[in-house]
Chains A and B, each alone.
Chain A
């Protein structure tokens, strides 16, 4: 296991470096630089001065190594957009709202999705199944920004039950969390349905019935546990995945989160922030996959307590 983990870490590190190079190159090959947005051109002299100030006058590979050298020391540079703070400070500040909303979304959506999926599987080919599957598909098909708008219109504008948007007060979190929850809910419902159906088809379920266990116990203990193991592997990556969903939800609900920075850092060529965000997400994904791997191994007795692989 340790060897396995070390091997995984090495391969993840390799991936990480490859991704960082690709992103760096792509980022710099996009035309226009951070000082090109102005309505009237700044003079060449001014431009050169500013480029030098940010170290953008050096050859690309030097810039890359400088940056990655900084990253090794946890120095991700200073965002062009907000030079008063470091990228790390910026991200740790802006990430809080995103994490609260996205996290609650997944934490609420996933269990609901599992229940929905179970309901569908246990009532296979009945209206419950069709309804659940349709809901799940719709959840995955209707773009988040449409859902957001709909929720705002219904609950804030027409019914006037909830505030339309905004940040600090927790009652403003309800709608965006609902939007965030839609995707994990739908995804989990789909996964669970097929995992439960698979499990129900396995012979040991018949054995459990033959032993005289109640159907409830069979479903909620045995089937659930067996189906849950493969689901573990999608949980963390999905959690990270909400980070990019925040682009839409946060824009629609005026949440001062990380979402806007994904877009703005690309738009205004904020190289340091752009790189840091990409690396952050990449890193989180790597970590998520690694942890899911380990969690899977821990939950699955076949791997945990050895024996045939």
Chain B
């Protein structure tokens, strides 16, 4: 008997002014020990289907199904107590956003122990001991301490692991992982995926992996379900689907995975670069409480960084989470005041200009924010949001502004009637496109795009990237492209700047960087890119910060022409290729 049996699932949501169908005719099964992936575009009903299985949908949801069984229990007929027993024990879930998934006022230890005790009769102390073991299992080194930590004291990656530990704590027969890695950077993502796979094997659990990232699927599962628009498009063994997709949507999905983009043509202009950062740095004052004391400190978010964005080029800024990419991008826009350094736009230093003098530059430089959800005013309709730049700069009549906004809506691949909608009514990918439309409507010459495609599924991503390319060609747009997604970087950008802990550790033309990475961090980063082919699944090793430091490359004076120094410095080892290294005499 299969562990999960879903037959003819249909979920709709009651809303003001009618019902919305989220999921229709969904049927699939999962047997014990099996791992199944659900892929599909954003908003296709992946999360809703799984939540329906655990009856975790809000009260406005109406769930119908011919069969909806979990571990032999008819979920639709189960009462509250049965459900409580079923949840956690038969199936546990890892949620998309670990930051909001923990109760902020209880310690991690309490929350894990509580889960254990909800399902088994054990003492508090034993439960805590078990929790510690679980934390160790998910490779949290200082597990004993972490037990006493509150959620906000952990980083996103650690929380995600604690979340997995919590899910494992009830020894579920089925683990549902809902996009467990979207919020994480590639290196952590790879670690988490590997971890999930390992514990799955160890505990002999079945796994449902929800994602829109085909690479993740290729890496982790045996069987795949492809969803689109609330329905299942295709289902089959992962190798079969990857090698011989039947459905059109699956085909485009896979096609986009293998597409290649051409690097920008023509030699860069010799005139001043579109944007140049000279020695910019940013330090934050931090205040940490320890007990009742406040410890004041300086945190170097960005150490002296030089970045050149030549005209009509796309430069990528990559690096681990928290390495200062966003901060650099914001400083370039003068949205965060740099602590030091100059910002040159077309050769003019704008780092000292007052707000009024900045306005003409603001028209030429735009930014797409990393978090598209908070970057859109929740009280404004999309048409208003996109037209806002025109409104601020007083371009055209209100009618023309709206009209132009609606055109841009189409250009980024959204229907015109979305103009009436609000940000919260969109999926993540749709929101990101709105943010891009807003940034581009003024037809700027410089664009700082901070993870503009992180929430997009591959098809839409391809569309957006095409759009960016096209604009680059049409408008002579220069883009500083901040991203975690190395495959996109590889296919889109002309050169890459790698940041690590607030410093630039390597910089090179794209092809050269991917071919000959020098810095150990760059290598680790490239190594973490998920495979695009299920047959390429492999085990990875991960470097710790100390190991990276220890492996800093060494060059001689002759190789680099720089003065020898025991401290690492950026040295040029080939035209356009700089790397942080220790120069030995």
Contact = CB atoms under 8 A, between A and B. Distances in A.
* Chains A and B directly touch (beta carbon < 8 Å): yes
Interface of A: 1-4, 202-204, 206-215, 217, 222, 225-226, 229, 299-309
Contacts of A308: 152
Contacts of B103: 204, 208, 222, 225-226
A211 B80 contact: no
Given A203-B97, A305-B150, A211 B105 contact: no
B169 to A, nearest CB: 8
A90 to B, nearest CB: 38
30 contacts: A2-B293, A204-B103, A209-B56, A210-B54, A210-B56, A210-B88, A210-B93, A210-B95, A211-B88, A211-B114, A212-B83, A212-B85, A212-B87, A212-B118, A212-B119, A213-B114, A213-B118, A215-B80, A217-B114, A222-B103, A225-B103, A225-B105, A225-B106, A299-B105, A301-B104, A302-B150, A306-B153, A306-B289, A307-B153, A307-B288
The 10 A-B residue pairs with the shortest CB-CB distance, nearest first, are A212-B88, A306-B289, A212-B87, A301-B150, A1-B292, A203-B100, A207-B101, A210-B93, A211-B115, A211-B88
Contacts of A1: 289, 291-294
Given A210-B87, A306-B288, A203 B150 contact: no
Main secondary structure of the interface of B (DSSP, over half): mixed
Contacts of B56: 206, 209-210
Contacts of B92: 210-211
A204 B100 contact: yes
B89 interface: yes
Contacts of B95: 203, 206-207, 210
A51 to B, nearest CB: 51
Contacts of A300: 105
B102 interface: yes
A207 B92 CA distance: 9
A101 B101 CA distance: 43
A308 B288 CA distance: 8
A309 B296 CA distance: 13
Contacts of A204: 100-104
Contact of A203 (B101, B115, B152, B290): B101
Given A203-B100, A210-B54, A305 B153 contact: yes
A217 B290 contact: no
A211 B170 contact: yes
B175 to A, nearest CB: 11
A159 B100 CA distance: 55
A212 B153 contact: no
Instruction: Count chain A CB atoms within 10 A of each CB in B51, B100, B104, B119 and give the residue with the most.
Output: B104
B232 to A, nearest CB: 23
Contact of A209 (B87, B89, B105, B149): B87
Contacts of A226: 103-105
B170 A212 contact: yes
Contacts of B81: 214
A3 B292 CA distance: 9
A202 B293 CA distance: 31
Contacts of B260: none
A222 B93 CA distance: 19
A211 B51 CA distance: 13
Contacts of B287: 309
B284 to A, nearest CB: 11
A125 B127 CA distance: 39
Contact of A302 (B93, B101, B119, B152): B152
B166 A211 contact: yes
A4 B291 CA distance: 13
B86 interface: yes
A208 B114 CA distance: 10
A309 B102 CA distance: 17
Interface in B261-319: 287-294
Contacts of B153: 305-307
A306 B114 contact: no
A3 B293 CA distance: 8
Nearest to A206: B56
B279 to A, nearest CB: 28
